[in-house]
Amino acid sequence: MAAAATLAALLPAKASDFSEPWKKPNRALVIDAYEYNSIDWNALASDKRIVAFINKASDGLPPPYACSGDEEAVKLCKALWKRHAVARELFHTRRTVAKALGLEWGAYHLARPGNPVDQANNFIDFAEPAPEDLLALDIEDNDPDQWMSLDDAEEFVRQVHRRIGRFPILYTNGSTAKHIADNRYRYRLLSRLPLWYARYKPDIDMHFPKGNWDSYALWQFSAQANCNSRRCPYRPPGTPLDIDVNVAPMAADELRTAWPFGHLIDVPTDYLASVPVPIARSEGLKGKVEITYASVATPPTIGELVAAVSTGWAKFRSGWT
Protein backbone atom coordinates (compact mmCIF):
# COMPACT_ATOMS: atom_id res chain seq x y z
CA MET A 1 0.00 0.00 0.00
CA ALA A 2 2.79 2.43 0.93
CA ALA A 3 4.74 1.54 -2.21
CA ALA A 4 1.68 2.16 -4.38
CA ALA A 5 1.12 5.54 -2.75
CA THR A 6 4.72 6.56 -3.35
CA LEU A 7 4.67 5.48 -6.99
CA ALA A 8 1.37 7.26 -7.59
CA ALA A 9 2.76 10.43 -6.06
CA LEU A 10 5.78 10.33 -8.36
CA LEU A 11 3.90 10.12 -11.63
CA PRO A 12 5.07 12.64 -14.26
CA ALA A 13 4.56 16.14 -12.93
CA LYS A 14 2.38 18.61 -14.78
CA ALA A 15 4.20 21.22 -16.85
CA SER A 16 3.01 23.89 -14.41
CA ASP A 17 4.85 22.11 -11.58
CA PHE A 18 8.16 23.03 -13.20
CA SER A 19 7.41 26.76 -13.19
CA GLU A 20 6.74 28.53 -9.86
CA PRO A 21 4.39 25.85 -8.49
CA TRP A 22 4.53 27.48 -5.05
CA LYS A 23 2.20 30.16 -6.42
CA LYS A 24 -0.52 27.53 -6.77
CA PRO A 25 -2.49 27.49 -3.49
CA ASN A 26 -3.16 23.76 -3.78
CA ARG A 27 0.51 22.77 -3.71
CA ALA A 28 1.86 21.50 -0.38
CA LEU A 29 4.93 23.07 1.22
CA VAL A 30 7.66 21.60 3.42
CA ILE A 31 10.15 23.41 5.66
CA ASP A 32 13.66 22.13 6.25
CA ALA A 33 16.00 23.53 8.86
CA TYR A 34 19.15 22.95 10.88
CA GLU A 35 19.91 23.63 14.51
CA TYR A 36 20.71 27.34 14.07
CA ASN A 37 17.39 28.25 12.39
CA SER A 38 15.01 29.74 14.95
CA ILE A 39 11.38 28.58 14.67
CA ASP A 40 8.18 30.10 16.09
CA TRP A 41 6.13 26.92 15.97
CA ASN A 42 2.71 28.43 16.62
CA ALA A 43 3.19 30.96 13.85
CA LEU A 44 4.52 28.32 11.47
CA ALA A 45 1.54 26.03 12.10
CA SER A 46 -0.84 28.83 11.10
CA ASP A 47 0.14 28.31 7.45
CA LYS A 48 -2.02 25.34 6.47
CA ARG A 49 -0.10 24.77 3.24
CA ILE A 50 2.89 23.63 5.31
CA VAL A 51 2.52 19.88 5.69
CA ALA A 52 5.92 18.73 6.96
CA PHE A 53 9.15 19.72 8.66
CA ILE A 54 12.53 18.14 7.84
CA ASN A 55 15.33 18.75 10.31
CA LYS A 56 19.05 18.15 9.98
CA ALA A 57 20.10 15.13 12.00
CA SER A 58 23.67 13.86 11.72
CA ASP A 59 26.66 15.47 10.03
CA GLY A 60 29.28 13.14 8.58
CA LEU A 61 30.95 10.74 10.98
CA PRO A 62 30.11 10.66 14.70
CA PRO A 63 32.56 12.17 17.19
CA PRO A 64 35.27 9.77 18.42
CA TYR A 65 34.19 7.48 21.24
CA ALA A 66 37.01 8.64 23.51
CA CYS A 67 38.89 11.94 23.54
CA SER A 68 42.67 11.57 23.44
CA GLY A 69 45.80 13.36 22.24
CA ASP A 70 47.26 16.69 23.26
CA GLU A 71 45.35 19.40 25.11
CA GLU A 72 44.02 21.06 21.94
CA ALA A 73 42.87 17.74 20.49
CA VAL A 74 41.00 16.88 23.69
CA LYS A 75 39.36 20.34 23.75
CA LEU A 76 38.21 19.95 20.16
CA CYS A 77 36.90 16.45 20.83
CA LYS A 78 34.89 17.62 23.85
CA ALA A 79 33.50 20.55 21.86
CA LEU A 80 32.37 18.17 19.11
CA TRP A 81 30.65 15.94 21.63
CA LYS A 82 28.90 18.93 23.22
CA ARG A 83 27.66 20.16 19.85
CA HIS A 84 26.53 16.64 18.95
CA ALA A 85 24.59 16.28 22.21
CA VAL A 86 22.93 19.71 21.92
CA ALA A 87 21.98 19.16 18.28
CA ARG A 88 20.52 15.74 19.07
CA GLU A 89 18.46 17.05 21.98
CA LEU A 90 17.11 19.92 19.84
CA PHE A 91 16.32 17.51 17.01
CA HIS A 92 14.18 15.27 19.19
CA THR A 93 12.49 18.24 20.89
CA ARG A 94 11.55 19.66 17.50
CA ARG A 95 10.21 16.29 16.39
CA THR A 96 7.92 16.15 19.42
CA VAL A 97 6.65 19.70 18.82
CA ALA A 98 6.18 19.26 15.06
CA LYS A 99 4.20 16.05 15.43
CA ALA A 100 2.07 17.58 18.19
CA LEU A 101 1.14 20.33 15.71
CA GLY A 102 0.12 17.76 13.11
CA LEU A 103 3.15 18.10 10.85
CA GLU A 104 4.85 15.20 9.12
CA TRP A 105 8.46 14.75 10.22
CA GLY A 106 11.69 14.08 8.38
CA ALA A 107 15.44 13.96 9.00
CA TYR A 108 18.43 14.49 6.73
CA HIS A 109 22.08 13.48 6.96
CA LEU A 110 24.71 15.92 5.71
CA ALA A 111 27.05 13.57 3.85
CA ARG A 112 30.80 14.15 4.21
CA PRO A 113 33.92 12.26 3.10
CA GLY A 114 34.50 9.22 5.28
CA ASN A 115 33.23 5.68 5.80
CA PRO A 116 29.67 5.61 4.37
CA VAL A 117 28.55 2.65 6.50
CA ASP A 118 29.62 4.43 9.68
CA GLN A 119 27.82 7.57 8.49
CA ALA A 120 24.62 5.63 7.78
CA ASN A 121 24.77 4.07 11.24
CA ASN A 122 25.39 7.51 12.74
CA PHE A 123 22.32 8.82 10.91
CA ILE A 124 19.98 6.05 12.05
CA ASP A 125 21.27 6.12 15.62
CA PHE A 126 20.91 9.92 15.78
CA ALA A 127 17.48 10.21 14.14
CA GLU A 128 15.87 7.09 15.65
CA PRO A 129 13.30 7.23 12.83
CA ALA A 130 9.74 6.06 13.33
CA PRO A 131 8.24 4.14 10.38
CA GLU A 132 6.37 7.27 9.28
CA ASP A 133 9.43 9.58 9.36
CA LEU A 134 11.07 10.60 6.09
CA LEU A 135 14.83 10.09 5.72
CA ALA A 136 17.02 12.03 3.31
CA LEU A 137 20.63 11.82 2.16
CA ASP A 138 22.04 15.30 1.54
CA ILE A 139 24.71 15.36 -1.19
CA GLU A 140 25.52 19.06 -1.48
CA ASP A 141 27.65 18.72 -4.60
CA ASN A 142 29.59 16.22 -6.70
CA ASP A 143 32.90 17.07 -5.05
CA PRO A 144 34.37 14.12 -3.09
CA ASP A 145 37.00 16.36 -1.47
CA GLN A 146 34.24 18.20 0.42
CA TRP A 147 31.24 15.89 0.32
CA MET A 148 30.54 12.17 0.23
CA SER A 149 31.41 10.64 -3.14
CA LEU A 150 28.55 9.25 -5.20
CA ASP A 151 30.04 5.75 -5.03
CA ASP A 152 30.10 5.98 -1.24
CA ALA A 153 26.56 7.35 -1.31
CA GLU A 154 25.42 4.13 -2.99
CA GLU A 155 26.82 2.18 -0.04
CA PHE A 156 25.25 4.62 2.44
CA VAL A 157 21.85 3.95 0.89
CA ARG A 158 22.41 0.18 1.08
CA GLN A 159 23.28 0.41 4.76
CA VAL A 160 20.20 2.49 5.57
CA HIS A 161 18.10 -0.15 3.84
CA ARG A 162 19.88 -2.92 5.76
CA ARG A 163 19.14 -1.16 9.04
CA ILE A 164 15.50 -0.18 8.60
CA GLY A 165 14.21 -1.89 5.46
CA ARG A 166 13.48 1.24 3.43
CA PHE A 167 15.30 3.87 1.41
CA PRO A 168 16.03 7.56 1.95
CA ILE A 169 15.22 10.20 -0.61
CA LEU A 170 18.10 12.02 -2.33
CA TYR A 171 18.70 15.74 -1.81
CA THR A 172 21.06 17.35 -4.30
CA ASN A 173 21.51 20.22 -6.74
CA GLY A 174 20.74 20.34 -10.44
CA SER A 175 24.21 19.55 -11.78
CA THR A 176 24.70 16.56 -9.48
CA ALA A 177 21.22 15.22 -10.26
CA LYS A 178 22.01 15.48 -13.97
CA HIS A 179 25.33 13.66 -13.48
CA ILE A 180 23.58 10.83 -11.65
CA ALA A 181 20.91 10.63 -14.34
CA ASP A 182 23.51 10.59 -17.12
CA ASN A 183 25.36 7.78 -15.30
CA ARG A 184 22.39 5.87 -13.94
CA TYR A 185 23.85 2.48 -14.89
CA ARG A 186 26.70 3.23 -12.49
CA TYR A 187 24.54 4.78 -9.76
CA ARG A 188 21.75 2.23 -9.81
CA LEU A 189 20.44 3.13 -6.37
CA LEU A 190 20.93 6.90 -6.33
CA SER A 191 19.22 7.21 -9.70
CA ARG A 192 16.13 5.45 -8.34
CA LEU A 193 15.71 7.37 -5.11
CA PRO A 194 12.89 9.93 -5.02
CA LEU A 195 14.54 13.27 -5.78
CA TRP A 196 14.59 16.29 -3.49
CA TYR A 197 15.74 18.86 -6.03
CA ALA A 198 17.55 22.05 -5.01
CA ARG A 199 17.40 24.87 -7.54
CA TYR A 200 16.62 28.50 -6.77
CA LYS A 201 15.15 29.54 -10.11
CA PRO A 202 11.50 30.18 -10.96
CA ASP A 203 11.52 27.63 -13.79
CA ILE A 204 13.32 24.27 -13.98
CA ASP A 205 11.63 22.76 -17.03
CA MET A 206 14.77 22.96 -19.21
CA HIS A 207 17.14 21.75 -16.48
CA PHE A 208 15.31 18.96 -14.67
CA PRO A 209 16.74 15.48 -15.55
CA LYS A 210 13.46 14.10 -16.93
CA GLY A 211 15.18 11.24 -18.71
CA ASN A 212 15.62 9.60 -15.32
CA TRP A 213 13.13 11.27 -12.97
CA ASP A 214 9.68 12.16 -14.28
CA SER A 215 9.08 14.38 -11.29
CA TYR A 216 10.59 15.62 -8.07
CA ALA A 217 9.37 14.52 -4.66
CA LEU A 218 10.28 17.96 -3.31
CA TRP A 219 11.76 21.08 -4.89
CA GLN A 220 13.77 23.36 -2.61
CA PHE A 221 12.97 26.67 -4.26
CA SER A 222 13.71 29.21 -1.53
CA ALA A 223 16.75 29.61 0.72
CA GLN A 224 19.26 32.22 1.83
CA ALA A 225 20.57 32.26 -1.76
CA ASN A 226 17.42 33.91 -3.14
CA CYS A 227 15.56 35.29 -0.12
CA ASN A 228 16.24 38.63 1.55
CA SER A 229 14.32 41.38 3.32
CA ARG A 230 13.23 42.93 0.01
CA ARG A 231 12.35 39.91 -2.09
CA CYS A 232 11.63 36.27 -1.33
CA PRO A 233 9.75 33.56 -3.26
CA TYR A 234 7.80 32.56 -0.14
CA ARG A 235 7.87 33.73 3.46
CA PRO A 236 6.64 31.11 5.93
CA PRO A 237 5.40 32.67 9.17
CA GLY A 238 7.57 32.18 12.22
CA THR A 239 10.81 31.54 10.31
CA PRO A 240 13.96 33.58 9.54
CA LEU A 241 14.89 34.76 6.04
CA ASP A 242 17.46 31.99 5.61
CA ILE A 243 14.95 29.17 6.09
CA ASP A 244 14.68 26.57 3.32
CA VAL A 245 11.25 26.17 1.73
CA ASN A 246 10.21 23.30 -0.51
CA VAL A 247 7.20 22.59 -2.70
CA ALA A 248 5.68 19.24 -3.62
CA PRO A 249 3.99 18.56 -6.99
CA MET A 250 0.82 17.57 -5.16
CA ALA A 251 -1.80 18.71 -2.69
CA ALA A 252 -1.46 18.44 1.08
CA ASP A 253 -3.51 15.25 1.44
CA GLU A 254 -1.57 13.60 -1.40
CA LEU A 255 1.76 14.46 0.20
CA ARG A 256 0.63 13.04 3.53
CA THR A 257 -0.33 9.81 1.75
CA ALA A 258 3.02 9.58 -0.09
CA TRP A 259 5.10 10.40 2.99
CA PRO A 260 7.77 9.15 3.83
CA PHE A 261 8.76 8.10 0.26
CA GLY A 262 10.58 4.98 1.43
CA HIS A 263 10.64 3.10 -1.88
CA LEU A 264 12.61 3.20 -5.13
CA ILE A 265 11.04 4.86 -8.15
CA ASP A 266 10.17 2.91 -11.29
CA VAL A 267 13.06 1.88 -13.52
CA PRO A 268 13.33 4.13 -16.61
CA THR A 269 12.35 2.40 -19.84
CA ASP A 270 15.90 2.49 -21.21
CA TYR A 271 16.96 0.37 -18.24
CA LEU A 272 14.86 -2.41 -19.68
CA ALA A 273 15.03 -4.78 -22.61
CA SER A 274 12.28 -7.14 -23.76
CA VAL A 275 13.29 -10.79 -24.07
CA PRO A 276 11.16 -13.81 -24.98
CA VAL A 277 10.07 -15.95 -22.07
CA PRO A 278 11.35 -19.56 -22.45
CA ILE A 279 8.72 -22.18 -23.22
CA ALA A 280 8.66 -25.90 -22.63
CA ARG A 281 9.96 -28.02 -25.56
CA SER A 282 6.77 -30.08 -25.55
CA GLU A 283 4.68 -26.94 -25.99
CA GLY A 284 6.92 -25.68 -28.78
CA LEU A 285 6.56 -28.94 -30.72
CA LYS A 286 2.80 -28.53 -30.76
CA GLY A 287 3.31 -25.46 -32.94
CA LYS A 288 0.67 -23.29 -31.31
CA VAL A 289 2.50 -21.19 -28.79
CA GLU A 290 2.05 -17.50 -28.12
CA ILE A 291 5.41 -15.83 -27.54
CA THR A 292 5.42 -13.56 -24.50
CA TYR A 293 8.08 -11.08 -23.53
CA ALA A 294 9.43 -9.91 -20.19
CA SER A 295 11.28 -6.74 -19.32
CA VAL A 296 14.73 -7.25 -17.86
CA ALA A 297 17.51 -4.87 -16.93
CA THR A 298 19.83 -4.13 -19.83
CA PRO A 299 23.46 -5.19 -19.36
CA PRO A 300 26.08 -2.48 -18.95
CA THR A 301 28.00 -1.26 -21.97
CA ILE A 302 31.71 -1.94 -22.46
CA GLY A 303 32.45 1.61 -21.37
CA GLU A 304 30.45 1.17 -18.18
CA LEU A 305 32.20 -2.12 -17.42
CA VAL A 306 35.62 -0.51 -17.95
CA ALA A 307 34.67 2.39 -15.66
CA ALA A 308 33.42 0.01 -12.96
CA VAL A 309 36.55 -2.16 -13.16
CA SER A 310 38.80 0.92 -13.06
CA THR A 311 37.01 2.20 -9.96
CA GLY A 312 37.28 -1.18 -8.25
CA TRP A 313 40.98 -1.49 -9.13
CA ALA A 314 41.69 2.00 -7.81
CA LYS A 315 39.99 1.14 -4.51
CA PHE A 316 41.94 -2.13 -4.34
CA ARG A 317 45.26 -0.37 -4.92
CA SER A 318 44.48 2.36 -2.40
CA GLY A 319 43.99 -0.33 0.22
CA TRP A 320 47.62 -1.38 -0.21
CA THR A 321 49.22 2.04 -0.24
pLDDT band at 132 (very low <50, low <70, confident <90, very high): very high
> What are the residues facing 161 on neighbouring strands?
none
Residues 96 and 131 in one domain: yes
Residues 64 and 143 in one domain: yes
215 occurs within a structural domain: yes
pLDDT at 314: 66
pLDDT band at 1 (very low <50, low <70, confident <90, very high): very low
Mean pLDDT of 130-136: 99
- The domain total for the chain is 2
Q: Which residues contact 156 (CB under 8 A, 6 or more apart)?
A: 109, 111, 116, 117, 119, 120, 137, 148
pLDDT at 279: 64
Residues 177 and 236 in one domain: yes
Which pLDDT tens digit goes with each residue over 33-47?
999 999 999 999 999
Residue that terminates a domain, selected from 206, 233, 258: 258
How far apart CA 30 and CA 244 sit, in angstroms, is 9
Rounded to 5 degrees, φ, ψ at 35 are -65, -20
Residue 293 has pLDDT above 80, yes or no: no
Residues 64 and 21 in one domain: yes
Residues 238 and 278 in one domain: no
What does the mean pLDDT of the chain come to? 88
How far apart CA 18 and CA 20 sit, in angstroms, is 7
- The parent domain of residue 305 ranges over 269-318
pLDDT at 227: 96
Residue 251 has pLDDT above 50, yes or no: yes
Residue 286 has pLDDT above 90, yes or no: no
Residue that terminates a domain, selected from 217, 235, 258: 258
263 occurs within a structural domain: no
pLDDT at 226: 97
Residue 66 has pLDDT above 80, yes or no: yes
Which pLDDT tens digit goes with each residue over 72-127?
988 988 988 888 999 999 999 999 999 999 999 999 999 999 999 999 999 999 99
Residues 139 and 66 in one domain: yes
Contact assessment for residue 215 and residue 10, using Cβ atoms and an 8 Å cutoff: yes
Residue that terminates a domain, selected from 207, 232, 258: 258
Residues 125 and 253 in one domain: yes
CA-nearest of 225, 241, 264, 234 to 27 is 234
Q: Give pTM, 2 decimals.
A: 0.82
Rounded to 5 degrees, φ, ψ at 71 are -60, -45
Which pLDDT tens digit goes with each residue over 186-234?
999 999 999 999 999 999 999 999 989 999 999 999 999 999 999 999 9
Residues 274 and 248 in one domain: no
Residues 186 and 226 in one domain: yes
Identify the CATH number of the domain in which residue 182 sits.
Answer: 3.20.20.80
